[in-house]
Copies of this chain bind each other. A is one copy, B any other.
Amino acid sequence: MRDFLPEDVRRREYVIDVVSGVYRRYGFEPIETPALENIETLTGKYGEEGNKLIFKVLRRGEHEASGETDLALRYDLTVPLARVVGEYRGKLPKFFKRYQIQPVWRADRPARGRFREFYQCDVDAIGSRSPLVETEMLTAVSEVLQTLGFNDFTIQLNHRQLLTATLNRSGIDPSLHTTALVALDKLDKIGRDGVLAEMAARGIPSAAASAVLDPVAPREWRSLPDAEGAAAYENVETILLLCEATAASGHIQFAPFLARGLSYYTGAIMEVSVPDLAGSLGGGGRYDGLIGMFLGEDVPACGFSLGLERILVVMAERKMFPPSVERGSAEVLVALFDPASVREALKLAAELRAVDLRVELYPEPDKLGKQMKYAASKLIPFAAILGGDEIARGEVTIKNLTTGTQESIPRATVGSDIASRISRFGFGNGGSRTPDPASR
């Protein structure tokens, strides 16, 4: 688990603001759920391995000594969503489009880039089976990535029923489908020969295994004897065609071997990746059965989860954060060396803040040199110095801490003057004046 110092928080908030701004423009609305869920809500939902990774909370008071647990920390955002849909069904619209950006906790052994507390950014659309749902979701995800500055991402699109049809067509017995998909899911990592070896180890006849990996022409997909498979291919083709009219155009491709681990998918499945990151930036798919498991009736749903931590890693490596995020602390230090001018210094700070500058007032009268050193160590670009002389003349001395130059400026215009220098020279403004690329 990690502490986030100011620079980390600014970077995280920047990405979260872009994600939520884009999702809102697509008609998704935010929800938040509590960190603690009743333990019964979570257990049994994530498989045997998942169960072991749930953080469980001890009962309190007289029950504490029993060692019993009644609450558990949120493990993902999908189960809480299903609970919310069940609990508030009457209050929610027929098509419920929500996004949720909150931490989840898993008692995984910590490793490089894997944390026990991490954020998920989920977007889900509930209530429709239309391929427009997948299209809009992939368009929104594309716009998020483009707004963040990613132009080289790839969306892989496949369909769960198409995988089933492929396995059937290759002559793999339905009892072996699950194990075959586990092997197929590794194609990216271990290559064709690796998958063939793994299929063999999993008891799949080699002729069938290699048939799975054979290329298939579009004509053949369309004429699949398996009716569900043919319908699945039509669904994929429809989504691809619709995406051509959107921000996903040029990024999306049919990926007949994309398997995605989670067993609850029932329709289209999708994954987004960039060349310089092993694994994906996010993924999702249609899961028309999962919410029904909670509600006792079928509720169509489709979701996508962006990996905030992975996006942050790639953006840091590629230096994709705007200067305003990287230099987000104070923009002006109001220096304080004469106890008699403290009240004027307070007023000056207020005047500068009124034009949206981020201003730190040095808290105690001290030697100017020390204060300039302090400002430089915090990468504050300007210092404003206000002595008795300046006050008498109605001026402020502004020192540029990058160049070392200083000049006197009329008090009335000092705020707008510094603000324009900052925007001219690209000093950090932390989003306080420039509108965010996607404000909330």
Q: Which residues of B contact A245 (CB under 8 A)?
A: 343, 346-347, 350
Q: Which residues of B contact A435 (CB under 8 A)?
A: 435, 439
**B4 adjacent to A364 (CB under 8 Å):** no
A3-B34, A125-B363, A245-B347 known; 6 new pairs, CB 8 Å cut-off, are A5-B88, A24-B432, A25-B353, A67-B67, A129-B364, A130-B363
On chain A, which size bracket covers the interface? Answer: 35 or more
Cross-interface CB contact of A35 among B13, B64, B71, B117, cutoff 8 Å: B117
Q: Which residues of B contact A4 (CB under 8 A)?
A: 31-33
Q: How far is the CA of A136 from the CA of B103 in the complex (A)?
A: 33
**B32 adjacent to A10 (CB under 8 Å):** no
| A87 close to chain B: CB less than 8 A | yes
What residues of chain A have their CB less than 8 Å away from a CB belonging to chain B? 1-6, 8-10, 12-13, 17, 21, 24-27, 29-36, 52-53, 55-58, 60-61, 64-67, 69, 71, 73, 84, 87-88, 91, 93-95, 97-98, 103, 105, 107, 116-117, 125, 127-130, 132-133, 135-136, 139, 143, 241-242, 245-247, 328-330, 336, 342-343, 346-347, 349-350, 353, 356-364, 374, 377-378, 430-432, 435-436, 439-440
Stoichiometry (number of copies)? 2
Chain B: minimal CB distance from A89 (Å): 12
**Which residue, of A8, A12, A71, A91, has the highest number of chain B Cβ atoms within 10 A?**
A71
**A56 adjacent to B57 (CB under 8 Å):** yes
Q: How far is the CA of A139 from the CA of B353 in the complex (A)?
A: 12
**A31 adjacent to B6 (CB under 8 Å):** yes
Q: Which residues of B contact A69 (CB under 8 A)?
A: 58
**A27 adjacent to B358 (CB under 8 Å):** yes
Q: Which residues of B contact A439 (CB under 8 A)?
A: 431-432, 435-436, 439
Q: Which residues of B contact A431 (CB under 8 A)?
A: 439-440
Q: Which residues of B contact A88 (CB under 8 A)?
A: 3, 5
**A432 adjacent to B21 (CB under 8 Å):** yes
Q: Considering the complex of A and B, which 10 residue pairs feature the smallest CB-CB distances, nearest first? A: A67-B67, A27-B360, A6-B29, A1-B34, A128-B363, A130-B364, A9-B30, A4-B32, A27-B330, A130-B363
Q: How far is the CA of A289 from the CA of B56 in the complex (A)?
A: 35
Q: How far is the CA of A364 from the CA of B209 in the complex (A)?
A: 39
Cross-interface CB contact of A57 among B13, B55, B125, B241, cutoff 8 Å: B55
**B128 adjacent to A360 (CB under 8 Å):** no
Chain B: minimal CB distance from A197 (Å): 32
Q: How far is the CA of A21 from the CA of B429 in the complex (A)?
A: 12
Q: Which residues of B contact A34 (CB under 8 A)?
A: 1-3, 117
**A3 adjacent to B84 (CB under 8 Å):** yes
Q: Which residues of B contact A95 (CB under 8 A)?
A: 360, 362-363, 374
Q: Which residues of B contact A52 (CB under 8 A)?
A: 60-61
**A35 adjacent to B103 (CB under 8 Å):** yes
Q: Which residues of B contact A67 (CB under 8 A)?
A: 58, 65-67
Chain B: minimal CB distance from A42 (Å): 14
